[in-house]
Amino acid sequence: MQIRKYRAKTIRDAVGKVRDVLGPEAMIISTKKVRGNGKNDIFEITAAPAHGGGANEPSSSIADLKAELMSIKEMITLLDHTHGTVERLIWNPAILSLYAKLIRNGVNESYARTFLARTSVFNKPFTHGANNDRAVKIIIEEIKRVIKVNEPFESNGKNRVVAALVGTTGVGKTTTIAKLAAQLMLKARKKVGLVSIDNYRIGALEQIKTYANILGVPCFPAFCRTDLLLALKRMEDRDVVLIDTAGQSQYDLSRIEELRQIIPDDLPITSHLLLSVATTELEMSKTVNNFSPLGFQSYIFTKLDESERHGSILNLLMNRNLPISYITTGQNVPEDIEEAKKDKILRLLLNRN
Ligand SMILES: Nc1nc2c(ncn2[C@@H]2O[C@H](COP(=O)(O)OP(=O)(O)OP(=O)(O)O)[C@@H](O)[C@H]2O)c(=O)[nH]1
Ligand SMILES: [Mg+2]
C-alpha cells in the first residue's frame, strides 16, 4: 500500500493536500500534531489512496485498521460541522473515530460532545493506548446508560397485560400488532386478544381482522370507551390484549384528545408510542410532544430498514428518556420485529465505519 505523509499548518490544510493528491475517497490512517503549541503548529496526516490494499497486501491488516480509518470526505464533513472538536481529539484516534461514527450516524453534535466530556478526554493532555481504550469504554458505557429497554410482555405473573400502540398514520401500528400477536402466541405461548379503535380509516378493521383470523385470536372493534371496557371484559381470559389505534396526525391535537378519552388512564393499559426512524428528527420530537397527553410509557422504533442512520434514536432519548420495547425492521409479518436490547441499539448508533 502506498502510504504518504502530508504536513500543513492546520488540519484543514493538511486534509486539503491529501484530497488534492489522493482524492476524496483516500483513507486517513493517522493524524497528529508534530510541532507547536498554538502559534507555529504543524499537523501531519498519514494517508493512503482508496482501495489501497495492493495485490500482495494481506487484506486482514487493512481490516484491522479499518475501525479507525476515516475517508477524507468524512473528515471534511467532521471539520465543517464539529467546531474545533476534531482538533481537540487529534491525539486520540480511537475517540475521534468513535465521535465520527456518532456524528455520521446522525447523533446530534452537542450530545456526542456531552458523552465525550463525561470522560476527561478534553481536559487531559495526550495519553497513550490503555487510557484511550478506557476512555472509549467509558463513553460507550455512558451512552448505554441512556439507552433503556423494557420487556412489556415478560412473565407478569398472572396479570393480564393490556398494551395500546399509538402513533402517526402509517407508522406501522397494525403491522406491529400482527407481528407481536404472532410472536407472543408462537414463541411465548400466550393467549392473545386484539381490539381495534380505528374508526377513521376505511378498511382498518378488516386489516386487523384478517390478521386475527389467520392467527385464530379474538378481535373486537371499539368505537368508544364503553366498547373498549366491554371488549376487555370479554377477553378476561387472555394473557395479552393488544389495542390497535387510529393513526393520528401529530398536529391534530383534537384527535389525540379524542383517543385519550377512549383509552382511560384509570385502567392498567400500557401505551407504546411508535416512531419511524425514516422520518425527520423534528417530526419525531413533535410527535413525542403532541402525543404526550396519551401518557405513553415506552417507544417502539419502526422502519429501521428504511434508514441508514439511526442517531435520531439517541437524540430522542436525550430529549425524553423512556425505555424502548421493540424495533421493527421490515414489512414481513411476523419476522421483522425484535425485542429492544441495549447492545443492538448501541450497534445501530455506531454502525457506520
Ligand atoms: N419498511 C418497513 N415498512 C413497514 C414496517 N412496519 C410497517 N411497515 C409498512 O408500513 C405501512 C403502514 O403500516 P400499518 O401497520 O398499516 O401502519 P399503521 O400505523 O397501522 O397505519 P394507520 O392505521 O393508517 O395509521 C405498511 O405498508 C407496512 O407494511 C417496517 O418496520 N419497515
Ligand atoms: Mg393501522
In a domain, 154, yes or no: no
Domain count, the chain: 3
Confidence category of residue 60, pLDDT binned at 50, 70, 90: low
Banded model confidence at residue 353, pLDDT cuts 50, 70, 90: very low
- Rounded-to-integer distance, Cα 137 and Cα 108, Å: 20
Q: What beta strand segments (E) does the chain contain?
A: 4-8, 27-35, 42-48, 70-71, 161-166, 192-197, 219-221, 240-245, 269-276, 298-302, 324-328, 337-339
Q: Which residue has the higher pLDDT, 248 or 303?
A: 303
Q: Which residue CA neighbors atom 29 of ligand 1 most closely? A: 331
Residues 8, 37 share a domain: yes
Expressed in angstroms and rounded, the spacing between residue 230 Cα and the centre of ligand 1 is 28
Atom 4, ligand 1: residue with shortest CA distance: 331
pTM: 0.86
Verify cis geometry, omega within 30 degrees of 0, for the bond prior to 323. Answer: no
Residues 42 and 119 in one domain: no
Do 214 and 344 lie in one domain? The reply is yes
Three-state DSSP at 156 gives coil
Are 170 and 284 in a shared domain? yes
Same domain, 247 and 280: yes
| Residue 81 host element (H or E) | helix 72-81
Domain extent, residue 228, equals 161-349
User: Is 134 inside any structural domain?
Assistant: yes
Mark the residues whose beta carbon lies below 5 A from ion ligand 2. 173-174
- Judgement on whether residues 35 and 140 belong to the same structural domain of the protein: no
| Cα–Cα distance measured from residue 335 to residue 325, given in angstroms and rounded to the nearest whole number | 16
- C-alpha cell recorded at residue 156: 407478569
How far is residue 12's CA from residue 80's CA, in Å, rounded to a whole number? Answer: 9
Q: Do 22 and 108 belong together in one domain?
A: no
CA of 208 from ligand 2 middle (Å) equals 8
Residues 97 and 124 in one domain: yes
Residue 190 sits in the same domain as residue 294:
yes
Q: Which of 175, 271, 308 gets mutated to test ligand 1 (max ligand atoms within 8 A of its CB)?
A: 175
Please give the average per-residue pLDDT across 152-163, as a whole number: 82
Q: Are residues 187 and 295 in the same domain?
A: yes
Atom 1 of ligand 1: nearest residue by CA position: 330
54 and 168 share one domain:
no
Instruction: Give the whole-angstrom CA distance, residue 88 versus residue 74.
Output: 17
Ligand 1 atom showing the smallest separation from residue 274 Cα:
19
Strand partners, 350: none
Query: Which protein residues touch ligand 1 with a CB less than 6 Å away?
Result: 167, 169-175, 198, 201, 204, 247, 302-303, 305-306, 328-331, 336
